[in-house]
Amino acid sequence: MVTGTSVVAFKYRDGVMMAADCLGSFGSQARFRNENRFMQVGSNTLLGASGDISDFQYMKHALDDLLTHEYDMDDGQSLGTKSVYKYVSNVMYGRRNRFDPLWNAYVVGGVDGGEAFLG
């Protein structure tokens, strides 16, 4: 199991700042030194993940499917930061209730309606 460590995020008056290292560890071995643990979701949202990299890939695929569905709707609406946060929370809750949890901790940050959001 390849894992990543901490993601740090700060909310300030004009936005959100997030940082993480790029090390993917296989047990105690520093195996992968260029793992990206952030995903841009839409134009104003950033998702950061620590924990199991394969579970993060699962969440990335789920969010890509959601963004594709949102794009196909062609209704002029875009997915906001709070909506992404709620979606990630619901996916995590659903997997935990099926006794197949995602072994991650996620940070969702961005600007939603001119207001900085961090969750």
Q: Provide the greatest CA pair distance for the chain.
A: 48
List, run by run, the mean pLDDT of 10-residue segments along the chain (119 residues). 80 90 75 82 92 91 92 83 95 96 94 90
Give residue 5's pLDDT.
76
Give residue 13's pLDDT.
86
**What CA–CA distance (Å, rounded) separates 118 from 13?**
12
Q: What is the pTM of this model?
A: 0.88
